[in-house]
Structure 1
């Protein structure tokens, strides 16, 4: 099996070293490049074409959110996990809006970090539990303050799904992985992946986080 290629972008050399040791210790992951800021990171990413990028937010010259936005706009196939010591609302929402595929805190346990890299490389999105709660609460708050049209629009989009696709979408909204959804709905993982792909297409979503947000907006009471 070809290892998952990873690039680390963080202005703290000790953090890069620690991440490299954690990820490099997994036989399915290979750290192929590192950079101390967003601008250098874009060059390293262009050179190595990694599967996954771990991107710090607060860096000199070019911050991680701006670098992520530029990377996504360039059409790069590399997936981005934003990694930070903070979980501020604005940072979370900006990261997701700019196309990040995951958002994890730097105190994430090593095993969870490795799992996140694997999941994102496989096309899934990942958020730490505290970040997931934060994102959904932000969405709920916006919907409660006069966004009835958003709720209606979300429900209309979900109405385009088949009954099975809606079941899968709800499970995605609950934060379940493809394997967990497969076990819950008695499907194969491959079938779940196919359903998720169709859901993304029908909802016009870029990743699972956006699917989750649509589900939660549509399911609001009132």
Structure 2
């Protein structure tokens, strides 16, 4: 069972999201919150698998709440759910360690698929968000792009061949289970490899690791 804390300052939105998640027997909303402070408190109280946070909320916005949750409850993954898709929000959320970024305007099935992917250890970006992130990387040119590529290749250089292989698959968006199947490993071994890769690269989550993999040339657009 995937246990979720849901935070949004609009009761109707919370009801709608809860209704969508309620269509899947594998997901349970264990608590709701109407602001960021209450969201952090709910996570500390219930220790859910995932905190689904709106970005714009009173007292503490979702970005700040997500960062606090990652700091105080590292066992809980953070997924941002919002109507806003500005690059600044994306960059800050991912920089603070969010595992997912979904748009409220997306397909309801995408919400369920995204939470399941995150619960399985993958990162999940709404397709529209993923396109923007990749486009931003691809738009880099000249010395700036070359410098990022060189820096990423230096980061990747500390990895073992197997860790590089795992990183490439993380960059391709595969979950731990999918990586295990492709490499003929048990899922627990893949989790250990992924943890080691994140630590050795000095990144907070799989999204940041995927960006390193892309910039290092391990994954093609």
TM-score normalized with structure 1 length = 0.86
- RMSD of aligned alpha carbons: 2.4
CA offsets 1:55-111 (integer angstroms, 9 cap, x no match): 001222221111112222334422110001122111111100112111011133333
Give the counterpart of 1:114 among 108, 112, 115: 112
Matches within 5 A, 1:83-98: 83-98=81-96
Give the counterpart of 1:161 among 159, 162, 171: 159
- 2:207 corresponds to which residue? 209
Report the Cα offset of residue 178 of structure 1.
Answer: 3.0
Report the Cα offset of residue 156 of structure 1.
Answer: 1.4
Q: 1:111 to 1:188 in 2, by over 3 A?
A: farther
- 2:125 corresponds to which residue? 127
Give the counterpart of 2:11 among 3, 10, 13: 13
Give the counterpart of 2:190 among 165, 189, 192: 192
- 1:37 corresponds to which residue? 35
Conservation of the 8 A alpha-carbon contact between 1:104 and 1:128: yes
Give distance in 2, aligned partners of 1:46 and 1:199: 28
Report the Cα offset of residue 129 of structure 1.
Answer: 1.6
Give distance in 2, aligned partners of 1:144 and 1:201: 30
Report the Cα offset of residue 143 of structure 1.
Answer: 6.3
Report the Cα offset of residue 185 of structure 1.
Answer: 4.1
Conservation of the 8 A alpha-carbon contact between 1:83 and 1:106: yes
- 2:64 corresponds to which residue? 66
CA offsets 1:156-211 (integer angstroms, 9 cap, x no match): 12122222322221222122333443454454544433332332222122211111
- 2:98 corresponds to which residue? 100
Report the Cα offset of residue 139 of structure 1.
Answer: 3.3
Q: 1:98 to 1:142 in 2, by over 3 A?
A: farther
Give the counterpart of 1:52 among 41, 50, 53: 50
1:168 partner SS: helix
Q: Which runs of 5+ in 2 are unaligned?
A: none
TM-score normalized with structure 2 length = 0.86
Report the Cα offset of residue 118 of structure 1.
Answer: 2.3
Give distance in 1, aligned partners of 2:123 and 2:33: 23
